[in-house]
Structure 1
Amino acid sequence: MGGTAIYYNRALYCCPMDIPPLTNIEATACRLSTIGHGVLTLVSVYLPPKKKLLRSDLKVLLALGDAVILFGDFNSKNTNWKCNYTNYNGRKMEALAEDLHFNIITPPTPTFYHNNVRYRPDILDIALMRGIRLSYRGLPPLRKTITSWKKVSAALEETDTPVLNNIPDDIVSTDDIDNAIGALTSHITTVVENSSRKVPAKSDRKELPRDVIELIRDKNAALRRAGKYPTRENRSRARALQRRVKARIKEIKNDNWSDLMAEISPSHQAYWRLAKALKTEGAVPTPALKRPDNSIAFDDREKAECLADSIEHQCSENPHTTQNMSGGWKRRFVIESPPTQRRSGSNYAGRSQQTHKGLKIRKSPGRDTISSKAIKCFSAPLWLYWSQF
């Protein structure tokens, strides 16, 4: 399939024009007279995917006037204008832009969506301009839509809504099916719109280096290949690429942080965010570990002794009561075992593991200020070792 056409309003000062013979490109051209710019030559272009981009064709089209705009499907893909990959025509187009002195204008969103959902959308339609004086004054600022999917999920969980209540319980005809589908689609669309907001798009955002973008695309392709053909080689390659991407992203983050620390100014918003985080009431300071004589443990050995004493205190033979934060008294979880019984063997190990799992993380800490949540972070062998003393 091919062919080109240009539709224009008859009220415009526009007329079609003939084009010299071309080798691979199909084109339709017209002249448009404007008040502020003069005569513009507009050319609708189509290059079939199996044909190469020729310098002679572009040179002929760009010579049709002093101000020329070529637009259409060039089938020229290049990662420099946000395509998924770079092909031969894309590399040739980038080289000819410097040789023939024209600008490449690309849309911000994809222009081609494949019928197969497994293929990613891509940019095929671009514009080439030469001799055009562009003025961006008066153009609206770029904006993007941010959707809160948590709000969408919470709103869709509500089934008692007027729209859903109008859907009949008994659907007997195709009209009922169409009405139910339309009502459900309208409800979902309304929920998503109500949970979305438009914000200015940041144009100064740093983009990833080209090698990282190519590495991420290779990783995604390897994951798709491993999902479709789960062989050992495919899975191994996908995991290796995942590790490489993770390491490369970490390097970029470290470099960006170093650059920020070198260029940061006292008026940077990071200082305001830090001050706001420190003033948050939700930040609860962690109390220091104290020994039995109420002195603070400083080095690792003293802290380990405090942890051991806390475990022994919480799992001692005699129950102890401690006062919680609200002023009431609570009984700590204890293990009842005779003093003469040797703490070893499978019975004690099983009861000790049950005690470890049964600790309530919401209980207030005892006099040693060590919470049950911290003790539950111990591994099973470490817990069993400390609980024997």
Structure 2
Amino acid sequence: MGRIVVVGAGIIGAAITRELARDGHDVTVVERSAAASGTSGRGEGNILVSDKGPGPELDLARFSRSLWPTVARELREELGESFPAIEFEPKGGLVVSTTAAGAAPLLAFAAAQRSAGVRADVVDAATAKSLEPHLTDATTAAIHYPEDAQIQPVVATEAFLRSARLAGARVLTGHEVIGAVLDSAGALAGVDVRSRDGVTRSFPADAVVNAAGPWGAAVSEVLGAAIPVRPRRGVVLVTTRMPHRVFHKVYDADYVGAVESSSADLQTSSVVESTASGTVLIGSSREQVGFRDEFSTRIVAELARKAILLFPFLSSASLMRSYSGFRPYMPDHVPVIGEDPRLPGLWHANGQEGAGIGLATGTAALLAALIAGRTPPVDAAPFSVSRAGLAPFLAEVAA
């Protein structure tokens, strides 16, 4: 059993805190704002395997997806009926192409995923319409992904933290990490933290976990081992409530390309899904603009236009609001999970970008196993901060 400080109370930090506390560690979470106040409170709650090609992130996504039903049941049993449901909904996904040019790449991508063990069922236009009766008639190819799911991410984050508290963890909101405590050998032995009312104190730790999402670059720099995580801004539109007419997570074939792109410029694709409350969420956009968060009518118009191409009935829907958030983008498109060899005692769980909700369970299990010295549930090497693909970007932030 060790003393561990987790920095960040988003869904990644919350899931890690729960896992570590249940492992018997003495865990304290420090969060400069409020729980789920960053990326986790600004997303759609996606738990996806459909948007990832073969590789380490897909392996982690499939493992994470396998854990979610058990985690959802455990949280309900631990917290009781009085705690809001996390709304785990294994509703599946449908990816469609609406152009002749888009069909072949979509089918090839699905074939590659099937070779990696993903359920990616090619369906004809009639079957696609049976799955989504209000879908456009302009479908040229469609893939059904039964494993895709959704949760309510803010409630899930709070549920992880409540469960962690029951296991003995402490959650300190309004506390910002401002410095590192080093031992005589130069290893990280704790953090200096300043509370919202200006009180500074030190927290000794055998391990410090950087789970600060897009703010993880600043945290890692303060601690002395910078990582190149960057904020990638995304916008989501929310309609007023309506009878359910979208039954899966539905997106166009351009979405995968936007996820995998390294461009800093604005990219949009159509992503449409309903919530349990009857609203419809419409995305998706990606752009690297730092932490600028101004409202953009251009992005709203582009998202609405593309959503209507998928579901024509949305042309008469009313938008209730839009919101934006920052996703933790890693330039080689692979999360960083594990101990930092440049600063023993510092552990990272960062860079999941828009996949953080779905990857939370697997990330927590992987990190807990590594900290405890157990055999990891998936290969941890591809997520190491010392991997070859990340080296050029580490050199940039260290310069």
Q: Which TM class, normalised by the smaller chain length?
A: under 0.3
TM-score (norm 2): 0.19
TM-score (norm 1): 0.19
More helix by share: 1
- Report the structure number with the largest CA radius of gyration: 1
